């Protein structure tokens, strides 16, 4: 579109895109295959397209800036826009499954960059399925913050596997988070809040953040106030349920049950043919591997 041609999707007064031109279906199925380009590895993510002011070349030079914050299911991008000015030197990205919504966020960032020269250069968005492609975008230990704000609840039990927080997906998130990196979750659905909390608390690599850390974290206040969904909930006087945990060392209890299983196998080996119980270190090891996988 030519510079001086009017774009009807952009508001004349605010110069920002108007949501009504980016109407999308309420939900996309995260288990179905969508067709969009996916980088084959984090080193194939073209930073110069996302952050031209920070990265001029498409090659990531060792030691250069990398994305640190990821807003998973960013929706219309409210949180990212607030974070961009709060952490102007930190690169951040929104990951969104719905194409129209992603398009809206892209236009919103373009408009904000234009209206505020030098600002919003550290924020971008990509259309992708975070349940499938997180390791294509981020290296091990790259991220310091991941956000899961007001994710789709997928109420029916048969659809729980569509939830963006699950014990299995937490293994992937743990992989891309650095030690001390935080996962922030919030929802207005109590049952989903309990689910996300119990997945996080049950995972051996996530630990609670202290009350002091929580109070001092400027991001916590934005979880509701900066997101479009959070604003909707507070307009309607709804309740929210948060769980924020950090990626840390393996939990103590976990250190205990693993050797205990190995010992159990060893004990059975010492007393072969006693009753029904026969076993060996190998059995213990197999059981250990099975439980470690299931955990």
Ligand X SMILES: C[S@@+](CC[C@H](N)C(=O)[O-])C[C@H]1O[C@@H](n2cnc3c(N)ncnc32)[C@H](O)[C@@H]1O
Per-residue tokens: 160: 């729980």
Stretch that binds ligand X, among 6-14, 91-99, 195-203, 281-289 (CB under 6 A): 91-99
Question: For residues 150 and 247, which CB has a smaller minimum distance to ligand X in the complex?
Answer: 150
Of residues 213-242, those binding ligand X (CB under 6 A)? 227-230
**What is the arrangement of strands in the sheet containing 177-187, beginning at the earlier edge strand?**
123-127, 91-96, 67-72, 143-149, 177-187, 241-247, 206-208
Of residues 22-51, those binding ligand X (CB under 6 A)? 28, 30
Question: For residues 147 and 288, which CB has a smaller minimum distance to ligand X in the complex?
Answer: 147
Interatomic CA distance for residues 205 and 252, integer angstroms: 10
Answer yes or no whether residue 131 interacts with ligand X by CB under 6 A.
Answer: yes
Interatomic CA distance for residues 185 and 50, integer angstroms: 25
**Minimum CB–partner distance for residue 97 and ligand X (Å):** 4
**Minimum CB–partner distance for residue 91 and ligand X (Å):** 19
CA dihedral angle for residue 223, residue 65, residue 124, residue 97, rounded to 10 degrees:
-80
Answer yes or no whether residue 98 interacts with ligand X by CB under 6 A.
Answer: yes
**Residue 210 assigned to a binding site:** no
Interatomic CA distance for residues 68 and 97, integer angstroms: 20
* β partners of residue 183: 146, 245
Interatomic CA distance for residues 229 and 235, integer angstroms: 10
**Minimum CB–partner distance for residue 180 and ligand X (Å):** 23
Cα distance from N-terminal residue to C-terminal residue, the chain: 53
Question: For residues 142 and 166, which CB has a smaller minimum distance to ligand X in the complex?
Answer: 166
Burial (Cβ within 10 Å: 0-12, 13-18, ≥19) of residue 125? buried
Stretch that binds ligand X, among 42-50, 146-154, 214-222, 248-256 (CB under 6 A): 146-154
Residue 152 among the catalytic residues:
yes
**Residue 97 assigned to a binding site:** yes
**Residue 229 assigned to a binding site:** yes
Question: For residues 55 and 126, which CB has a smaller minimum distance to ligand X in the complex?
Answer: 126
CA dihedral angle for residue 148, residue 154, residue 157, residue 161, rounded to 10 degrees:
-50
CB atoms < 10 A from the CB of 53, how many? 12
Question: For residues 208 and 233, which CB has a smaller minimum distance to ligand X in the complex?
Answer: 233
**Minimum CB–partner distance for residue 53 and ligand X (Å):** 26
**Residue 130 assigned to a binding site:** yes
Residue among 46, 152, 171, 188 flagged as catalytic: 152
Residues annotated within a binding site for S-adenosyl-L-methionine = 73, 96-97, 129-130, 149, 227-229
Per CB under 6 A, residues contacting ligand X are 28, 30, 73-75, 78, 95-98, 101, 129-131, 149-152, 164, 227-230
Catalytic residues: 152
């Amino acid at each position: 579109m030519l510079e001086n041609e009017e774009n009807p999707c952009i508001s004349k007064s605010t110069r920002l895109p108007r949501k009504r031109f980016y109407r999308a279906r309420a939900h996309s199925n995260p288990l179905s295959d969508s067709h969009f380009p996916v980088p084959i590895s984090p080193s194939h993510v073209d930073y110069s397209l996302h952050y031209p002011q920070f990265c001029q070349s498409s090659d990531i030079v060792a030691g250069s800036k990398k994305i640190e914050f990821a807003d998973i299911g960013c929706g219309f991008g409210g949180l990212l826009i607030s974070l961009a000015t709060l952490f102007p030197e930190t690169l951040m990205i929104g990951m969104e499954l719905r194409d129209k919504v992603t398009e809206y966020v892209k236009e919103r960032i373009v408009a904000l960059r234009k209206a505020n020269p030098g600002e919003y250069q550290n924020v971008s968005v990509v259309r992708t399925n975070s349940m499938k492609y997180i390791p294509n975008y981020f290296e091990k230990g790259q991220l310091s913050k991941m956000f899961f704000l007001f994710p789709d609840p997928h109420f029916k039990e048969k659809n729980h596997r569509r939830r963006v927080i699950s014990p299995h997906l937490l293994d992937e998130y743990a992989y891309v988070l650095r030690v001390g990196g935080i996962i922030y979750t919030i929802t207005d659905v109590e049952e989903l809040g309990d689910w996300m909390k119990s997945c996080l608390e049950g995972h051996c690599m996530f630990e609670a953040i202290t009350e002091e850390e929580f109070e001092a974290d400027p991001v916590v206040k934005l979880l509701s106030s900066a997101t479009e969904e959070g604003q909707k909930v507070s307009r309607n006087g709804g309740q929210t349920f948060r769980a924020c945990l950090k990626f840390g060392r393996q939990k103590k209890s976990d250190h205990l049950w693993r050797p205990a299983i190995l010992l159990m196998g060893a004990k059975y080996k010492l007393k072969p043919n006693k009753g029904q119980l026969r076993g060996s270190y190998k059995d213990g090891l197999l059981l250990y591997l099975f439980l470690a996988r299931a955990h």
